[in-house]
Every structure is written in structure tokens, then in C-alpha cells.
Amino acid sequence: MNRSRPNGFTLIEVLVSVFIFAVALLGLAALQITARKAAFESAQRSLAAAIGQDVLERMRLNTEALSGYTGTLNANTTFSDSLDCAGPANLAVCDRRDFQRSLLGTAETTGTGTNVSKTGGLANPTLCVTSSNAGGSGQYTVTIVWRGREPALPEAGSENASDTCGNGQYGTNNEYRRIFRISTYICREGVSGGCI
């Protein structure tokens, strides 16, 4: 009896190949989702860093009104639409309004009419400016906090547990709180504790 050699694939081989291919596609999809989440968190942190640097630079340019920059700023802080930005004290108020607009992303919107959404800012942001010598030369710290999309790892929040900026606004244990902090020494000429 002459047996011919089988050619082609069996149904089992095809099913195994399809299964392996499907698992690989699911893995790629999960990787893409993780990458998009990380990219969003990175973009939020980059925006916070840019705003924090802007705050410090404007403070360096307006040292006569340093005390006008200290305090907490969030979405509930109100400013007049007709601010006069002449003079150091008024300029500090105008700068704080600009910081709030940057935090909320008012320059980047989507939609029209009554359906306009702000798309360029941080989620539920709070900005805190503190100093060892408010109004004079000293160490100034800008802290920006916002709500992340996913809870942070427990060890990631432990180093920021003592920071009170936005404390209690981002989950039961602040697990959604993201923090960016930048500090610098600002020198105010002509006042006690002058420049080094």
C-alpha cells in the first residue's frame, strides 16, 4: 500500500496559530493603553513644571511685591476681569490671574458656544507659594498639585505626606494627588536680609 504524505496544515495547527496571534494582539493593545496613560501623566507633569518655572521667573522680575505671590491659588479663586496691572502690587495680582488661567487651560478649548471645554490645563489644580521670609529675600517654594487619572503607588505618596498643598482634595488618602515642587532663593535688594 502506497501512502501519500500529508500536505498543508491541520485544523489544530491553524487554531493554535490564531490563538497565539490573538494573545499577541491583546498584549500590544494593553501596551498601547499603558503608554497613553504614561504619556498623559508626563504631559501633565511637564505643564506643571512650565507653570512653576513661570511663577518663579515672574516673582524674580517683581521683587517689590513678593508677598503678593504667596498663598494658595485654585479654580475657586476669583479675579476681576478689569484688573489694572500698573504697579508692583497690581502686577502680582495680574500674574496670579495668569497663573490660574494657565493651570485651568483657558487658552486651549474645544467646542463652541455654551459647549466649550477647557482642554489644556491640569485636572483640579492647586498652586501654593510659600516662603521662609514672605516679602523679603529668602527661599521661595512653588508647589503645584493636581488630580492624576490613576491612584499612585503607596510609596510614591509617602514622601509628600507632610505637604499640605491641596491635602484632602484628591482621594481618601490623597492617592490621586500628583505634586510638582520647585524652590529657589529670591533676592530683594534694599530690604533687611538683603542679597548675598
Q: What is the pLDDT of residue 75?
A: 85
Here the cell at position 55 is 511663577
Q: Tell me whether residue 162 is in a domain.
A: yes
| pLDDT score of 6 | 65
Tell me the average confidence (pLDDT) per consecutive run of 10 residues in the chain, 196 residues long: 68 91 95 89 93 95 92 88 87 93 84 78 92 87 92 64 82 89 87 60
User: Is 23 part of any domain?
Assistant: yes
- Secondary structure of 51-102 in HEC code, one letter for each residue: HHHHHHHHHHHCHHHHHHCCEEEECCCCCCCCCCCCCHHHHHHHHHHHHHHH
In a domain, 42, yes or no: yes
Residue 156 lies in a domain: yes
The answer to the question of residue 5 being in a domain is no
0.85 exceeded by pTM: no
In a domain, 3, yes or no: no
Asked if residue 46 belongs to a domain, the reply is yes
Q: How many domains does the chain have?
A: 1
Q: Which residues face 129 on adjacent strands? A: 71, 142
Q: What is the pLDDT of residue 160?
A: 59
Please state, as a whole number, how many other Cβ atoms lie within 10 Å of the Cβ of residue 43.
12
pLDDT of residue 48: 95
- Write phi, then psi, for 24 (nearest 5 degrees): -65, -40
Residue 56 domain-assigned (yes or no): yes
Nearest to 69 by CA among 128, 10, 29: 128
CA pseudo-torsion sign 142, 100, 73, 155: negative
- Per the structure, the complete domain to which residue 93 belongs is given by 11-108+117-186
Eight-class DSSP state of 122: -
Integer Cα distance of 54 and 61 in angstroms: 11
Which letter does DSSP use for residue 49 in this model? Answer: H
